Amino acid sequence: MAGVGHKPVPLPDTVKISYDQGMLTAEGPKGVLDVPVDAALSVEIAPSSVSLTRADDSRRSKARQGLTRKLVANAVRGVSTGFSKVLEINGVGYRADAVKDILQLNLGFSHPIFFQLPVGVSAKVERQTQITIEGADKQLVGEVAASIRRLRPPEPYKGKGIKYIDEHVRRKAGKTAVAGG
């Protein structure tokens, strides 16, 4: 991964970039995102790309250049196509329903859980057991998905709970009855 900061970030036609006083703003069809830029870096905006250059070769400057380049790339992708996480609910009677910006979850508790989605994040429930979290901000989408998963993480014996669609739950063998003796 060495030298990632030197690569320019390609810009789609639908994204507009502006830079003002240490804040880079990406604007596209999915929304607007701001990325803070360290004072040791300079931003060069071309019609089809954005480049970051550092003032010196210190370890901190190199690290900031790579980090900021990746944050800018994520902002550009977020405002153009967006990010999504898919969660799957396993368990008898476990289900979800989305109404506007509130997610109603029945997870085996004595009451339903109403999860308020933050601004900029939306949820779609394709089936009652599959939730898709979408938004322009990668960090916020991941944080919301993790918060929903934390409500009922998958347990290892029957696999009941909320898990990511590509997550593998390691299963454990339950107790076995010993023949009397």
Which pLDDT does position 104 carry in this prediction?
92
87-104 tens-digit pLDDT: 999 888 899 999 889 999
| pTM of the entire predicted model | 0.84
169 contacts 156 by C-beta, under 8 angstroms: yes
Note the pLDDT of residue 169: 83
The answer, yes or no, to whether residue 48 has pLDDT greater than 70, is: yes
For residue 22 the two structure tokens come to 């240490």
Does 2 have pLDDT greater than 70? Answer: no
Which residues lie below 8 Å from residue 80, measured CB to CB, with a gap of 6+?
12, 14, 15, 28, 29, 30
Beta-carbon contacts of 109 under 8 Å, excluding residues fewer than 6 positions away, are none
pLDDT one-digit tens code per residue, 120-175: 899 999 888 899 999 999 999 999 999 999 999 998 888 899 999 888 888 888 88
**Quick one: 72 and 90 in the same domain?**
no
CATH number for 153: 3.90.930.12
Is residue 173 domain-resident?
A: no
114 plus 68 within the same structural domain: no
For residue 180, tell me if it sits in a domain: no
Same domain, 92 and 37: no
Q: Indicate whether 76 pLDDT > 70.
A: yes
Q: Which domain holds residue 155?
A: 83-164
The total of structural domains in the chain comes to 2
Domain end (from 80, 104, 130): 80
CB 79 within 8 A of CB 28: yes
Q: Which DSSP letter does residue 5 get?
A: G
Residue 113 near residue 95 (C-beta atoms within 8 A):
no
Q: Which of 52, 80, 108 is the last residue of a domain?
A: 80
In a domain, 177, yes or no: no
- 103 shares its domain with 150: yes
Mean pLDDT for all residues in the chain: 89
Confidence of residue 179 (pLDDT cuts 50, 70, 90): low
Angle in degrees, 0-180, between the axes of helices 138-151 and 59-80, rounded to the nearest 10: 80
Decide if 152 is inside a domain: yes
- Asked whether residue 100 falls in the same domain as residue 49, the answer is no
Asked whether the beta carbons of 131 and 113 are under 8 A apart, the reply is no
